[in-house]
Amino acid sequence: MSVTTREIAARQNQFVAQAASIRLIAAIADGLTALRLIAAMVLLVFAWSGIWQGVAVTLTVAWLSDFLDGRMARQANGLTKLGPFDLPAETAVGAGLLIGLIGAGEIPAWLGIGALVLFGAVYAAGNLAASMLLQLSGFLPTLWVLWRYRPPAWWLPVVTALGIAILDWEQLMKVNIPGFIRGITGHFDRAVQRGD
């Protein structure tokens, strides 16, 4: 059975359309990563200024952008240009919140700066688990502050986090949590081997 010129052209058109679709998905994923970098700066300013409604909404947008970015990057087979900045962008969101909470007087400066320096240094040395710890250092106190002041949208980040955990349960259980545990145990294993 021979393939006609028309069939070849149709397959080429299909391939071109698929490639364009993948490039579009990758571009959107990159835009979401860039949005998260901007959100980190906005969160720092909102938290520092005590604009808790803005913190709640912006944090929700940041978390949704991370969720959608990850799914899109996987659909685009990792062909995003800003993919290497995904974890630093999420880390910047946590760090921005932490700095903002210090500035607002919601966290003691010594504790917040200590977390930034410790987890930031370990993350910079290549331990990705330290990024997660730095993020949590900003996220958990922020959720507490939102609960305490209860701006109208205080519940939005909580519902968003729960929704993302449910929708991305497999990723959480098979990739994120095991990666975090490997990062923590690997750090301590290396310290023991060095005799620290």
The predicted-structure confidence for 106-162, as pLDDT tens digits, reads as follows 999 999 999 999 999 989 988 888 999 999 999 999 999 999 999 999 999 999 999
Say which amino acid occupies 39. A
Report yes or no: 196 and 141 within 8 Å, Cβ to Cβ.
no
pLDDT band at 11 (very low <50, low <70, confident <90, very high): confident
Integer distance in angstroms from the first to the last C-alpha of the chain?
A: 70
Rounded CA-CA distance 109/122 in Å is 20
Looking at per-residue pLDDT, the higher value among 19 and 154 belongs to 154
Say which amino acid occupies 118. L
Q: Can you give the pLDDT at residue 54?
A: 98
26 is written with which tokens?
């990758």
Q: Give the residue numbers spanning the domain of 122.
A: 5-194
Q: Can you give the pLDDT at residue 185?
A: 80
Q: Can you give the pLDDT at residue 91?
A: 95
Beta-carbon contacts of residue 135 (< 8 Å; ≥ 6 apart): 90, 91, 93, 94
State the pTM of this model: 0.85
Indicate the number of domains in the chain. Answer: 1
